[in-house]
Amino acid sequence: MTGEITIKKGLRARIRFSIQLAASLIQNANFKGFFTGKIYRGSIKNVCVPGLNCYSCPGAVGACPIGSLQNFLGSKTFKFPYYVLGLLLFFGALLGRAVCGFLCPFGFIQELIHKIPFPKKKVCTFKGDKQLRYLKYLILAVFVIILPIMIKMTPAFCKYICPAGTLEGGIPLVVLHGKKLAMQVGSLFDWKLAVLTVTVVLCLIIYRPFCRYICPLGAIYGLTNKVSLYRLSIDSSKCVGCGSCTKACPMAADPLRKPDSPECIRCGVCADVCPEEAIHIGFRTVKKENGTVTDK
């Protein structure tokens, strides 16, 4: 029985890794762009992908929802972003932050970096961690909404913060087009490169630091965790309250006390370590009613 559980848990992790890899490749399927330096501008580029994936990445075949939202809000002729908000609400209502855990290319990159051996890793939490998590909501309000509205044609988050854009778009384009493009970008590129460097170093120490503290897309999806169809639930008839799930959560959420935490990316680590298999993640909830476990 124990062997069957171990195989099942290992399979769950492999399936998630496969989905992350496939999602990253599909969203960056313009492979020739990485060799030519030309950005794909076909009709599919008008469609927003669910995760954070820079529009300027040579491989990107879709638009980043955060970049698109800023473009709508910052356009000279203001138009309410019905399309972008509609897609964000759709993805959020369906999956919540499972988008971050399964479909976001930059989230996947952070996880891969975190696997690199490093002496001072902080797997879960540290002093000031909880307070820093509110920063992503401030960034969403100021850099994604307020500044683009006030300063037209300026996607502030993409321009001044987003390390995904530097990694996926800026560096490949500068490498392919040489010093001429680097000189045109100037000190702004140096600043973005510094932000990316800090992010990479933090990834070595902290699990998905950009997702925890900075990402405005994660902030949006986190708010939908309570209503999303894909959710985490606890079978209270099996749970013994050992706390293994809370200790193991790489995002330092508390699945037992707050299964709908906005920090939960539905990665499944808590379900893997649960000795009683009391945690379910999927499109149904399991709960105890009048002493009987029911599926909902």
Residues 6+ away with beta carbon under 8 Å from 280:
232, 233, 234, 235, 271, 286
- The last residue of one of the domains, among 223, 257, 281, is 223
CA 147/CA 261 separation, integer angstroms: 28
Q: What is the DSSP letter of 53?
A: -
Pairing verdict, β 292-295 and 286-289: antiparallel
CB-CB contact of 148 with 154 (8 Å): yes
Residue 71, classed as helix, strand or coil, is: helix
Of 201, 223, 245, the position where a domain reaches its end is 223
Which 3 state secondary structure label does DSSP give 264? coil
Please check whether residues 153 and 271 belong to one and the same domain: no
Closest CA to 237 of 291, 187, 188, 196: 291
Instruction: List the pLDDT tens digit at each of the 296 positions of the chain.
Output: 444 445 566 788 899 999 999 999 999 999 998 888 888 999 899 999 999 999 888 899 999 999 999 999 999 887 889 999 999 999 999 999 999 999 999 999 999 999 999 887 766 667 888 899 999 999 999 999 999 999 998 899 999 999 998 888 777 777 766 666 666 667 888 898 999 999 999 999 999 999 999 999 999 999 999 999 999 999 989 999 999 999 999 999 999 999 999 999 999 999 999 999 999 999 976 655 444 344 44
- pTM of the entire structure? 0.89
Q: In this structure, are 241 and 158 located in the same domain? A: no
pLDDT for 122 equals 66
Residue in the structure block whose two tokens are 């009048």: 290
Domain boundary among 169, 204, 223: 223
Q: Is 122 helix (H, G, I), strand (E, B) or coil?
A: strand
State how far the Cα of 246 lies from the Cα of 274, in Å rounded to an integer. Answer: 10
Cα gap 168→150, rounded to integer Å: 27
Which structural domain range is residue 139 located in?
2-223
- Tell me, yes or no, whether 118 and 213 share the same domain: yes
Nearest alpha-carbon partner for 50 in 120, 130, 104: 104
Element (H or E) spanning 292, and its range? strand 292-295
The single residue listed with the structure tokens 């006390």 is 257
Q: Which residue in 71, 63, 52, 68 sits closest to 151, CA to CA?
A: 71
**What's residue 182's pLDDT?**
60
Residue matched to tokens 């399309």 = 83
CB 13, CB 66: distance < 8 Å? no
Verify that 219 and 246 share a domain, yes or no. Answer: no
Domain count of the chain?
2
Cα-to-chain-centroid distance, residue 127: 23
Question: 52 with 156, same domain?
Answer: yes
Same domain, 264 and 200: no
Q: Are residues 210 and 248 in the same domain?
A: no
Is the same domain home to 97 and 216? yes
Residues 214, 251 share a domain:
no
CATH number at residue 251: 3.30.70
Q: What's residue 291's pLDDT?
A: 41
Residues 267 and 174 in one domain: no
Give the separation between CA 190 and CA 112, rounded to whole angstroms: 24
- Check whether residue 120 and residue 198 sit in a common domain: yes
| 25 alpha-carbon distance from chain centroid | 16
First-last CA distance in the chain: 27
Task: Tell whether 147 and 278 lie within a shared domain.
Answer: no
